[in-house]
A and B are shown apart, each in its own frame.
Chain A
Amino acid sequence: MAAILLDPLAAIGRGTLGACRAIGDVALFAIEAVSHLVRPPFYGRLFWRAFVEVAWFSLPVVALTAVFTGMVLALQSYTGFARFNAQSAIASVVVISLVRELGPVLAALMVAGRIGASFAAEIGTMRVTDQIDALTTLSTNPMKYLVAPRLLAATIALPLLVLVADILGVMGGWLIGTLKLGFVSAAYLKSTFDFLETGDVISGLVKAAVFGFIIALMGTWCGYRSKGGAQGVGGATTKAVVASSILILALDYVLTEIFFAQ
């Protein structure tokens, strides 16, 4: 503490260097993990286990988030748009904001909490109990065995989850639209699909894949580099969730800029 007060410049410098080192380390870690995806042996069973964990067991959380978000969106835009007599735009507002933005981001944030934490805790525990070293002595590359299948699983699972979230979110909006706001069901659905473009859906799914990769990457990296017993694993878990959440929001901006800025 005293050092920070006495020598702020040194502290800033140290922090910057530490951040640069971490970024470089994550990048190398990611490259190595991805390179294992194209070199045998492949661990299909581990991929499948991770995939079920990410896709299937995240489904309830993601589904609930999506339904309520769709409902809130419909309600909010109604109260706002009624001032301009623009209620007819509600269906398209709901679907476009969900598919482009809220579906991927909210699903990713929910999954970051579940999966990022569980990857970091599991791999972190294996690290501090020598299980990762044991893998090495048992002719198994821990990057290939632990990290690569999880990265692949999350990268594939997230777009699927987001697809479900999109559908359920639109359904939530439709429920509020027809039951509460007095839209005719067919007309609501028609204006939903009239304004939706394939590009909207694709961009959302690409975002989801990137977010999935980031969640698994931060989870596995934080776990892999953790040290110092239970406390270290706890710290790694927190770090994984915070880092992946922030990266999701930052990358969301970057990707939106790439997709939609003219």
Chain B
Amino acid sequence: MSNGSDDRRAQAEPSTGGLSRSAMTNTPKIRMRGVRKAFGPKRVLDGVDLDVAAGQGMVILGGSGSGKSVTIKCILGLIEPEEGVIEIDGVDVLTLPRREREALGDRIGMLFQNGALFDSLPVWENVCFKLLAQNRITRAGARDRAVEVLAQVGLAETVGDLSPAELSGGMQKRVALARAIAARPDIIFFDEPTTGLDPIMGAVIDGLIVDCVTRLGATAVSITHDMASARRIGETAAMIHKGRIVWTGPAGNLGHSGNAMVDQFANGQREGPIQMELRR
């Protein structure tokens, strides 16, 4: 999918410098301890503990509405948790001054669950938005880079000139994915990257995510409901239930992990320790 010379260039970039530092000292890339968040009376996160090692592909599983997206948004600083510690490279981001936190965000990419493309801008500007914002690229250079990244997610050059509203749902998802990885971030969050894609394209996207992790050395945290995809993109999986991480283990074991909850979830069984709750 992606060409080799491009990836070598990426590795030479200073933005991946943080990785080697944390890999050496063995601090987890992301560390969450006791993170709690409620919206009004509704408690969503109730003490989330999570470690993601540097250069690892982590998959977060959990029922719909269990707080997976909220967890990621807390790490990104988009939602302020009431309590708890969130560390990136050993630095507590919640107490960090705003400017430093913004600087940290420069090395993080995010694919939003619903895409969140800017509909006032053409696709190519969406894809290279971060590079342009950081003045790392000229507008002419951005176009070329956009074509390159769009090709990686299986979109033709002509798509670059369309507006996001002119794309199908799955195409929007892929453009959003292209936008998340275009600046070659150090840490990437994928909120349901393959939902709404056909199985072949889903596999291609999974391959792309694995590529980001293995070849660019990024740390990827993905949310997915698709077990096949989870096994492909994750080395480690974590399951969230009732606001807590109830299980962490190798993604290959999903379905026969020995944890009744995880196995019920992974195998999609109706009977088991997880009861479908009616939302109150």
Q: A-side interface residues toward B, CB under 8 Å? A: 41, 122, 126, 129-131, 133-134, 136-141
Residues on A with C-beta less than 8 A from B102 are: 139, 141
What number of residue pairs across chains A and B have CB atoms under 8 A from each other?
A: 47
Q: How far does the alpha carbon of A58 sit from the alpha carbon of B268 in the complex, in Å?
A: 57
Q: In the docked arrangement, what's the CA distance between A122 and B119, Å?
A: 10
Provide the bound-state CA to CA distance between A130 and B73, in Å. Answer: 11
Nearest CB in chain B: distance from A84 CB, A: 57
- Tell whether, in the assembled complex, residue A138 and residue B78 are in contact, meaning their CB atoms are under 8 Å apart: no
Residues in B with CB closer than 8 Å to A130 are 112-114, 116
Contact sample, A vs B, 21 pairs, CB 8 Å cutoff: A122-B120, A129-B114, A129-B116, A130-B113, A130-B114, A131-B119, A133-B76, A134-B110, A134-B112, A134-B116, A134-B118, A136-B76, A136-B78, A137-B105, A137-B110, A138-B129, A139-B102, A139-B105, A139-B106, A139-B130, A140-B133
Q: CB-CB < 8 A to B118: which residues of A?
A: 126, 131, 134
B133: which A residues are within 8 A, CB to CB? 138-140
Q: Which of B204-254 contact A (CB under 8 A)?
A: none
A-side contacts of B76, CB under 8 Å = 133, 136-137
Could you say which residues of chain B place their CB within 8 Å of the CB of A41? Answer: 135
* Cβ-defined contact, B179 with A133, below 8 A: no
Residues of chain B with a CB closer than 8 A to A134's CB: 110, 112, 116-118
Provide the B69-82 mask, 1 if CB < 8 A to any CB of A, else 0.
Answer: 00001001110000
- In the complex, which residue of chain B has the Cβ closest to the Cβ of A131? B116
Known contacts A133-B73, A133-B78; is-contact A138 B179 (Cβ 8 Å)? yes
Within the assembled complex, what's the spacing in Å between the Cα atoms of A126 and B164? 13
The 9 closest A-B pairs by CB, nearest first: A130-B116, A134-B116, A137-B110, A138-B130, A140-B133, A139-B133, A133-B78, A130-B112, A138-B129
B67 at the interface (CB under 8 A from A): no
Within 8 Å CB of A140, what residues of B?
Answer: 129-130, 133
Q: Could you list which residues of chain B lie within 8 angstroms of chain A, going by C-beta atoms?
A: 73, 76-78, 102, 105-106, 108-110, 112-114, 116-120, 129-130, 133-135, 179
Name the residue of chain A whose CB is nearest to the CB of B113: A130
Chain B residue at minimum C-beta to C-beta distance from A43: B133
Per the bound structure, the CA–CA distance linking A141 and B105 in Å amounts to 11
CA of A141 to CA of B134, assembled, Å: 12
A137 to chain B, nearest CB (A): 4
Bound: A133/B77 CA distance, A: 10
The CA-CA distance from A107 to B73 in the complex, in Å, is: 42
Q: Which residues of B contact A136 (CB under 8 A)?
A: 76-78, 105
Q: How far apart sit A122 and B114, CA to CA, in the bound complex (Å)?
A: 17
Quick one: which of B109, B114, B135 contacts A137, CB cutoff 8 A? B109
Within the complex, what minimum Cβ distance (angstroms) separates A226 from chain B?
A: 16
Question: B105 touching A133 by the CB < 8 A rule?
Answer: no
Shortest CB distance A140–B (Å): 5
Closest residue of chain B to A138 (Cβ to Cβ) is: B130
Once bound together, how far apart are the Cα atoms of A122 and B118, in whole Å? 11
A129, A133, A137, A139, most chain B CB atoms within 10 A: A137
Chain B residues, CB < 8 A from A139: 102, 105-106, 130, 133-134
Chain B residues with Cβ below 8 Å from A133 are 73, 76, 78, 112, 116
Of A122, A126, A134, the most chain B CB neighbours within 10 A belong to A134
Contacts of B112 in A (CB 8 A): 130, 133-134
Considering the complex, give the chain A residue whose CB is closest to the CB of B107.
A139
Known contacts A130-B114, A139-B102, A140-B129; 18 further A-B pairs (Cβ under 8 A): A41-B135, A126-B118, A129-B114, A129-B116, A131-B119, A134-B116, A134-B118, A136-B77, A136-B105, A137-B76, A137-B78, A137-B105, A138-B129, A138-B130, A139-B105, A139-B133, A139-B134, A140-B133
Chain A positions within 8 Å of B114 at CB level:
129-130
Q: How far is the CA of A141 from the CA of B130 in the complex (A)?
A: 11
Q: How far apart are B114's CB and chain A's nearest CB, in angstroms? A: 6
Closest CB of chain B to A97's CB: distance in Å? Answer: 40
In the bound assembly, the distance between CA atoms of A186 and B256 in angstroms comes to 96
List the A side residues contacting B105 at CB < 8 Å: 136-137, 139
- Least Cβ–Cβ distance between A75 and chain B, in angstroms: 45
Q: How distant is A233 from chain B, measured CB to nearest CB, in Å? A: 14
